[in-house]
Amino acid sequence: MILSTTDSLQGEEIKNYLGIVTAEVVYGSNALRDFFAGIRDVLGGRTGAYERVFEKGQQEALKELENRAKKVSADAVIGVQIRTDTINIDDHGVLMLITATGTAVSL
């Protein structure tokens, strides 16, 4: 399975466009991670704990995108985009949302 951010694949002919595929990964917040991230906000610098969460989430979203593309018999997904966002669930809680989207194609 080929995943690409481009709208074409060099050396490959797209035979059929099979539709848009999406994948979502949602993570809950973690009090300890939030505490240390808050310290980083005050002191400055990168928040490695959240960077690792987003990196893992992006990889999981891409894997799920691949799985969903396979269900429609795709050989590749082109035009892949990854978006990160948050969902506020109350005054104290936030969920992290990572979405991958692309067009499933057969080659």
The string of pLDDT tens digits covering residues 45-77 is 566 666 777 888 899 999 999 999 999 999 999
Residue 105 to residue 48: CA distance in whole angstroms: 36
Whole-structure pTM value: 0.77
Confidence label for 20 from pLDDT (cuts 50, 70 and 90): very high
Pairing of strands 2-3, 76-88: parallel
Report pLDDT for 70: 97
Q: Which CATH class is domain 2-106?
A: alpha beta
Report pLDDT for 62: 97
Where exactly are the structural domains of the chain? 2-106
Q: Decide which of 41 and 55 is more confident.
A: 55
